[in-house]
Chain A
Amino acid sequence: MGNDRNTFSIKFDKVCEVLDKHECSPNKLIAILQEIQEEYKYLPEDIMTYIATALGISPGVVFGVATFYSHFALEPKGKYVIKVCDGTACHVRKSKDILQTLEKELGLSGKKKTSDDMLFTLETVACLGACGLAPVVVVNDEVHGSMTKEKTIELISRIREQERQEMNK
């Protein structure tokens, strides 16, 4: 494929590829949604309608499945997805404080999960299985243990600085 293809079109090609791979079988709906979310980082509405058309099912079924599993996102996520663990161990070690710090720092609230600059998405998870490191924060695939308010603010500033440098390049 040429280098002049822009990203959306490559993603749409991927949708076609995923549908072909699963032979447009309605039984593979969850797998199809997973693979498509990997491309788009979320599930766009028009793509879900397209999937329904291709699978010969009602768009309502696709929407039902997509909203049932917390794994699926219906809105675009930021470049950095921050997961704050609120499992028992993290909870007793004051993960709430970390969460509030992040919300304040990123200008987010309960319903608003992604920052306006599309850089950060904040989520909570029930347990990451790293209780020894409680409280734990995961940024994309990077684990940060024994978090404090100060360390959290520092982490955010570091990412922002890194982004600034990349912009100036």
Chain B
Amino acid sequence: MYMKTQTAVIDNFTIQIEDEKNLLELIRKANIELPTFCYHSEISVYGACRMCMVEIEGRGIVPACSTKPEGGMVVHTNTAQIRKMRKMIIELMLASHDQSCTTCPKSGDCKLQNIAKQLGVDKIRFKQMKTHQELDLSSDAIIRDPGKCILCGDCVRVCNEIQSVGALDFAYRGAEAKVVTPFNKGIGEVECVNCGQCVKVCPVGALMPKYHINDVWEAIHDKSKTVVAQIAPAVRVSLGEYFGYKPGTTTTGQIIAALRRMGFDKVYDTSFSADLTVIEEGREFLDRYSKNENLPLFTSCCPAWVKYAEQYYPDLLSNLSTCRSPQQMFGAVCKEQLVKDLKISREDLVVVSIMPCTAKKFEARRDEFKTNGNPDVDYVITTKELSIMIKESGIEFGKLELSSFDMPFGFTTGAGVIFGASGGVSEAVLRFAAYSLQKGFVGEFRQFRTGDRTKVSEIEIGDKKLRLAVVSGLANAKKVIDKIRKGEEHYDLVEVMACCDGCINGGGQPVSNASNAVADRAKGLYDNDKMLQFHVSSENPYIKQLYNETLVDDKAHRLLHTTYENRRRILQDDIIINEVPENKKLEITICFGTSCFLRGAQTLYTQLMEYLSERELLGKTEFTASFCGKQCKKGPVISINGKNIEHCTLEMAVAEIEAVLRLKM
């Protein structure tokens, strides 16, 4: 079929229209960088900020992001009227923005600041309406500063569309409109999974990682403490971006040197414990596969995904690998062994993680990862925070003499390094499985290196035929899991990373304008793998040593594995439905959490009410609704005078009620 090529004229430059989704993309193709706050190619078009307004001859002024490119369009992006409008919008935004820019942690890479400068806004003609507002410090990972919010809605759409969490949404109306968490609770008290994707898209300082820089400095300056660092795979291929290197450039040597200069006593590699994860998870997988038990195995390295699963998929928690994440394996093993080697107390050993991730901050504070109240990992700082610390120290990053990791926790195989990219964990586990089953290195598994965010592949290893899914982005994960639950799909292993494309695109990573930055970082990791001598985790000689000397008896299980809990989405009290002041004979609590609801709690409640009414017991029964008793797999759960009944039916409840009544008679 013959298709006539269509063209448009943009600022006197003729350009061919291909498959651009909107006029903004076409204008960018013409090498004009239109300012915008609310346009992100991966989320829906919102058209709220009005910065990308352009003039189309014959049509007037329209927002480029929500206009479809058409052949013959004559577009002007920079007329006198548009320039004036854009400046005015910035002035209005600044007038309703907490202008404490000099002390704002976002200063320097704030879009509002940069666009104001770019457009030459040199005064604000309007009275300042918004001043400092109270910060939301309820989360271990993310800080909200509502006074800085410009209502672009980027965080709302990312949280909802990419992560399918919806912890942030617009509320109120008109001049009162705000981005809030449900019921204005703290972001640490709602269903936020701490992935930090909202932090990444926020153009201003309204959403920031919670910095732990000062805690780390304090530990370094305390002479009684031994401070060690672990560096996650993804950090080495992205930190350089803060110092002028291209995305994907490996700067491991410089990072280690910088950490030593700053005063860290030892510098280790999280890829080492990733090797440990591969072996533990690989064994777990082969074991479950041979027994055909709890399949598919879901990976558990990503703490945002783990929290998501705990909140929304309580019935699948036994499918989650019990392996701790590499960060937590490192913390546990390091504190176990170094305390002995260096003859110091556990309290005097401070483990600092450098992570591409905000959720790791939350993970490190989980109770499961503490021994006598002392955490296995003391502080987590993001790639961004490390860059700030290096700059604060005055270290000239580019001029550093390179340095290498300390032993033994600094030795890694290529399998441990590729963890930072989506698909890396699966590839590493497959290499281990193939190596174990066929006694030797079989090869790479490149099926999972495509840029897709849902990757499915069938792989034959020996006589085993495995079906794997690799997903990144929690909304994508949700689609895959829903199919598994319905029985429409079967997998043996599912790797889930909350951030699209994996840790290299984490919430603590640099925000890059380059379109292929994330792909370049992935390539950087796979190049690192190529350069290393070993590519299968079990070949790591220091891991073998660790298993022989330290992880003896039950230690491998105690230090490397964990448990999960069913988690309420929102912290709130139970509600008393039927209050009985005196003479009560029955106390019934019924769980109305998501899982119990789906399992028929509401029907059970209605039937019970009818029964109690017939028996004329309502005046003597106190009914309470709980929003998750954390027994989700056993739902619907009700408790009658303190006795829990799982998988409760009307008959079971009635039997218990009658038994209680007989006793009381």
Contacts and interface: CB of A to CB of B under 8 A. Distances in A.
Interface of A: 1-2, 4-6, 8-9, 12-13, 16, 19, 44-50, 52-54, 57-64, 67-70
Interface of B is mostly: mixed
Given A16-B605, A49-B570, A64 B594 contact: no
Contact of B597 (A4, A53, A67): A53
Nearest to A47: B575
Q: Which 6 A-B pairs have the closest CB atoms?
A: A58-B166, A60-B169, A59-B182, A4-B619, A9-B578, A67-B171
Contacts of B172: 67-68
Contacts of B613: 1-2, 4-5
Contact of B570 (A12, A44, A59, A61): A59
Contacts, number: 103
8 contacts: A2-B618, A5-B578, A5-B609, A13-B606, A16-B602, A54-B597, A58-B182, A60-B169
A46 B170 contact: no
A2 B605 contact: no
Contacts of B167: 58, 60
Interface in B161-218: 165-173, 180-183, 190-191
A67 B576 contact: no
A54 B573 CA distance: 18
B577 interface: yes
Contacts of A59: 182-183, 190-191, 569-570
Contacts of A61: 166, 169
A63 B578 contact: no
Given A57-B166, A68-B172, A8 B573 contact: no
Given A5-B618, A19-B602, A53-B597, A46 B627 contact: yes
A4 to B, nearest CB: 4
A75 B141 CA distance: 31
Contacts of A49: 182, 569-570, 572, 627
Interface string B589-617: 00011100100001001100110011010
Given A13-B609, A50-B625, A57-B166, 16 more contacts: A1-B610, A2-B613, A5-B578, A5-B618, A6-B579, A45-B572, A46-B625, A47-B575, A49-B182, A59-B182, A59-B190, A59-B570, A63-B171, A63-B182, A63-B183, A64-B171
B171 A12 contact: no
A6 to B, nearest CB: 6
Nearest to A16: B602
A5 B618 CA distance: 6
B156 to A, nearest CB: 8
B618 A4 contact: yes
Question: What size tier do the contact residues of chain B reach?
Answer: 35 or more
B7 interface: no
Nearest to B575: A46
A12 B191 CA distance: 25
B160 interface: yes
B330 interface: no
Interface string B641-661: 000000000000000000000
A4 B592 contact: no
A23 to B, nearest CB: 13
A46 to B, nearest CB: 5
Contacts of A48: 183
Nearest to A48: B183
Contacts of B577: 8-9, 12
B635 to A, nearest CB: 12
B37 interface: no
B623 interface: yes
Contacts of A6: 578-579, 618
Nearest to B174: A68
A59 B571 CA distance: 12
A63 B579 contact: no
B61 to A, nearest CB: 28
Contacts of B191: 58-59
Contacts of B593: 53
Pick from B172, B182, B578, B614 the residue with the most CB of A within 10 Å.
B182
B616 A4 contact: yes
Contacts of B570: 49, 59
Contact of B169 (A50, A53, A64): A64
A62 B190 CA distance: 14
Contacts of B180: 60, 63
Nearest to B169: A60
Contacts of B170: 64, 68
